[in-house]
Structure 1
């Protein structure tokens, strides 16, 4: 694969930190609903250690710490600057004594993670080449009765009407298709990458866990959206503009450029019809 192609599929997590942090903050209602559901499956008093796999800037780590007050939460990530943000966030929230960070590159560093009563893998499993082996690794780390929660799938985010008045209708559907091509190339370049049928319930069962439920949680911020949402959407579209270059038709690139122009009345900064609608799916399984 060419180095140019690799540049398009390589993710600079440090560069992406503002997008990740603001995005996670906007997902706050979804995260709190999901964690409340986890609390119905595993009693808070019995959860003493939590691993937040692919924690990024630690937004979810704090949600987990607040929901499980007796637990130490370990924010696990391969990017040191993101872990530094997580550490600072925990300190600001007065949770520095219960939230710690661990620099680890999976799957190589599974042995460094230690046991846990709850493992949260939020949109991180698909960044590991052999997903089945990773699930087996998580299974080994779970204490008896422990719970694994994997966030994968859901629904693509929607932000704009089908016809936005510029370009061909259906822009976001074409962005989705291009993103799927990019994702395929990204997965193919991961060390030890293996194709799997993404039946998470079956994959969890295959590594000896007992599937305990799947639920999807909706995030619905209708138009007119607050300024923070506009800023997040502009960052997200700018990231797509960068990584999908070559996968989108020139006329769609031109429309995205107009959407990103803060002075264009048809752009994301000024449009009255911008919204945010998406869903995240959480798959859970328990160790016997």
Structure 2
């Protein structure tokens, strides 16, 4: 029989994989990787504020991640260089969060758990937050799927179709902030973006439709979560980094397989 903590870890990993796959596709298509990094780094500041005010960690993380995501959207919309803006905000938020944690007296904080995840310590309450947030994001993406696809492909076409591209960007911003909040316990603030990008990038070369890419990305993420947990238990490695490492190996294998198939097709 599996231990309860392992069952909770598996369920948490599958929840993150389920939602990070489809959302990660939009991150890849829109080239929002650095945007996601800025939002995830802000999660540490949310942790510090939540601990300082004795608030719920999930609520604090979500609030700060959402503020960061909205701030980045507003600043980049004013003509500022996106990479510079995101670089400043991402590292500033991480630094302020780490400094803020150091000022907390009488509070024991395991920073590694928030930086790199601690999936094996997921509680039933954490699991409820993770699955609840994942289902909300998945429902939001499903409901707005066609509109999001159209706005991603061509904003002018989206406007001609009666859609508001700014509203669709806001949907992605909200979804990204929520995923950061639910995934911080699983893979940590420094590795959340990896779970958004790597499975989606791996699925890209094997998919012919956006829907197929989203499903395949979720499946690759699930295999990475299960494989990373198995590696962590057998080799006593940190669970969060192990999950990302397995995802990276899957990406390399899929890319090599795809490249070999294309080369064989040209012969």
Instruction: State the TM-score, normalized to the length of structure 2.
Output: 0.28
The higher relative CO (CA closer than 8 Å, separation ≥ 6) is in: 2
Higher relative strand content: 1
Higher relative helix content: 2
Tell me which structure has the larger Cα radius of gyration. 1
Instruction: State the TM-score, normalized to the length of structure 1.
Output: 0.26
